Amino acid sequence: GQNIDQPTEMTATEGAIVQINCTYQTSGFNGLFWYQQHAGEAPTFLSYNVLDGLEEKGRFSSFLSRSKGYSYLLLKELQMKDSASYLCAVLDSNYQLIWGAGTKLIIKP
C-alpha cells in the first residue's frame, strides 16, 4: 500500500529552527509537496521537490532524497504565525496526490 509518515505534533520555540520529517512509500514518484494549514483555514502551497536536494524559499527550505523516500521541511527564525499544521503529499505514478496526516507545529514564546 501507499503510505506517508510524518510526526503528529512538534513543539518549538520562537526564533529557533525546526525540521519536520516526512517518509513515504508510494507506487511511483512524480514530486513531493509541502502545504501549510492554519487552524480553520485552507491549506496553502509551500514547496515542491522533484529532484534530490534542498530548495530554499526565504525562511522555509525543503529537502528531498528519492533513494531514501524521505523529505524534510526546515523552518528557520520561527515566528508565532508559523504555528500551523504542515502537510506532506506525494504525487504518485498516476499523478494522484497521496497525503500524510499532517504535523501540528506549536510555537512557544
Q: Which residues lie near another protein (CB under 8 A)?
A: 4, 8, 30-31, 33, 35, 40-45, 48, 87, 89, 91, 95-102
Nearer to another protein, 39 or 109 (CB): 39
Name the pairing type of β-strands 103-108 and 9-13.
parallel
- Cell 509551500 sits on residue: 46
Name the pairing type of β-strands 32-37 and 103-108.
unpaired
Nearer to another protein, 63 or 78 (CB): 63
Q: In a 3-state reduction of DSSP, which class is residue 31?
A: coil
Q: CB 5 → another protein: shortest distance, Å?
A: 10
Reading the block at residue 83, the C-alpha cell is 504555528
Question: How many CB atoms lie under 10 A from the CB of residue 104?
Answer: 16
Q: CB 77 → another protein: shortest distance, Å?
A: 25
Q: Which residues contact 67 (CB under 8 A, 6 or more apart)?
A: 52
Q: CB 91 → another protein: shortest distance, Å?
A: 5
Nearer to another protein, 48 or 60 (CB): 48
Nearer to another protein, 8 or 67 (CB): 8
Q: CB 28 → another protein: shortest distance, Å?
A: 13
